[in-house]
């Protein structure tokens, strides 16, 4: 009857569970279902249950978990998740700015490295980059203390009527889309004219760039804000 399980809580896998809970919980930190986690992490639901039980029953638990009711990060879990997110986005910025990686390749490389760097490395690249607040996808980089400015933006898919916007951020998880958008000069900070039609959005960045027909299914990956 191993009740007070002694769990090794510093693994790549644990990091990834915490990051996934942070991402799926959204800004309101809603509770996240096993199935959603299983899908995001590419593992079986049973594996998720197993891990959640471990994370919840550790000595200082990373999550609050109740059977059948989903899971939330504990304060400690949130701290760790934000730390890994900071690693991730700093590494992405670094790969993009210093090592000249193409934007669509930085995510996968960061996804591995984020788990294996020490504070010193983080501190050195942050310094080298001038303590950036935004990564190359337009996402906010959490500060050392875990604070992160709320983003004042909306998914492109929620646009109600045609208009002009500024590109806020683009999801880092779809390399192909990132490449396409880049080819149309649709990058964070760019001005964007949006025209809605039943099944797609038509996007135009600068004068020189061709209009892009974007399926609605892809429009969740782009966030916009107003042109002040």
Partner DNA sequence: CTAATCATTTAGGCTAGCCTAAAATAGTGA
Partner DNA sequence: TCACTATTTTAGGCTAGCCTAAATGATTAG
If the CB atoms of residues 40 and 223 are measured against DNA, the closer one turns out to be 40
Q: Which residues face 193 on adjacent strands? A: 164, 204
Q: How many whole angstroms separate alpha carbon 160 and alpha carbon 121? A: 44
Instruction: Please report, as ranges, the residues that interact with DNA according to CB under 7 A.
Output: 6-8, 11-14, 16, 33-36, 42-54, 65, 67-68, 70
Are 212 and 180 contacting, i.e. CB atoms less than 8 angstroms apart?
Answer: yes
Instruction: Please report, as ranges, the residues that interact with its own copies according to CB under 8 A.
Output: 95, 98-101, 105, 109, 112-113, 116-118, 120-121, 124-125, 128
Please calculate the CA angle 77-80-81 and round it to the nearest 5 degrees: 85
Nearest approach in angstroms of CB 8 to its own copies is: 16
Nearest approach in angstroms of CB 63 to its own copies is: 26
Query: Taking CB within 5 to 8 Å according to partner kind, which of DNA, its own copies, Mn ion, none is near residue 131?
Result: none
Nearest approach in angstroms of CB 204 to Mn ion is: 27
Q: How many whole angstroms separate alpha carbon 77 and alpha carbon 81? A: 6
Q: How many whole angstroms separate alpha carbon 58 and alpha carbon 76? A: 12
Q: What share of the chain is helix, strand, coil (3-state, %, to 5)?
A: 40, 15, 40
If the CB atoms of residues 90 and 224 are measured against Mn ion, the closer one turns out to be 90
Query: Taking CB within 5 to 8 Å according to partner kind, which of Mn ion, its own copies, DNA, none is near residue 111?
Result: Mn ion
Counting contacts by CB under 5 A, is residue 169 touching Mn ion? no
């Amino acid at each position: 009857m191993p009740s007070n399980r002694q769990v090794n809580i510093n693994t790549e896998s644990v990091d990834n569970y915490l990051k996934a809970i942070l991402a799926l919980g959204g800004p309101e930190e809603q509770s996240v279902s096993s199935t959603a986690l299983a899908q995001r992490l590419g593992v079986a639901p049973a594996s998720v249950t197993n891990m959640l039980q471990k994370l919840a029953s550790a000595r200082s638990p990373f999550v609050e978990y109740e059977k059948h009711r989903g899971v939330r990060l504990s304060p400690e879990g949130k701290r760790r998740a934000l730390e890994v997110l900071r690693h991730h986005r700093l590494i992405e910025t670094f790969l993009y700015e210093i090592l000249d990686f193409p934007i669509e390749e930085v995510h996968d490389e960061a996804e591995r490295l984020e788990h294996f760097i020490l504070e010193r490395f983080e501190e050195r690249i942050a310094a080298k980059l001038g303590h950036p607040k935004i990564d190359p996808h337009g996402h906010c980089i959490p500060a050392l203390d875990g604070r992160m400015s709320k983003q004042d933006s909306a998914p492109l898919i929620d646009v109600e009527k045609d208009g002009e916007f500024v590109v806020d951020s683009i999801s880092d998880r779809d390399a192909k889309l990132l490449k396409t958008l880049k080819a149309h000069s649709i990058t964070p900070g760019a001005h964007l004219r949006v025209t809605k039609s039943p099944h797609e959005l038509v996007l135009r960045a600068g004068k020189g760039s061709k209009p892009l027909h974007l399926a609605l299914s892809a429009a969740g990956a782009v966030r916009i804000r107003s042109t002040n």
